[in-house]
Amino acid sequence: MKFGILCMVFWFCCGSAWAAPTASLTESSLGNELLFAGTQTVVTAACSKQPLNQAPAAVTVITADQLERYGVVTLPDALRYVVGMNVSEAGANIYNVTLRASTHNTPTRYLL
């Protein structure tokens, strides 16, 4: 039940965004590549499609190839590859996820 609630919180929320672009956890291994054909665009919390370099929030894209390459099978494992995101296990299938400079008193939302 708690895992479902945690997933819903992640789904419906958008993080307090930093204007500076983020890099992958290990730039040399993950790189900042996006494996799209044509223009690189993202859909942000404002639900508008725009070029990645003009997104008003920090956006990290982890591609399917990267997930496969590193053997990621769960959402918490994938989130560990986002710079500034700390994922810790609080119990069986219960995870605490925090972003840099956020505390438990900071209302934070993430869009996944």
Q: Is the pLDDT of residue 75 over 50?
A: yes
Q: At 110, which amino acid appears?
A: Y
Residue 98 β-bridge partners = 86
Looking up tokens 């370099």 gives 53
Q: At 42, which amino acid appears?
A: V
Separation between Cα atoms, residue 62 and residue 99, nearest integer Å: 17
Tell me the pLDDT tens digit for each residue of 16-55: 443 444 444 444 444 444 444 455 666 666 666 777 666 6
Separation between Cα atoms, residue 52 and residue 39, nearest integer Å: 9
In order of their start, the domains of the chain are 2-99 (2.170.130)
Separation between Cα atoms, residue 19 and residue 96, nearest integer Å: 24
Q: Are 76 and 69 in contact (CB under 8 A)?
A: no
Q: Are 66 and 60 in contact (CB under 8 A)?
A: no
Q: How confident is the model at residue 100 (pLDDT cuts 50, 70, 90)?
A: confident
Separation between Cα atoms, residue 79 and residue 83, nearest integer Å: 9
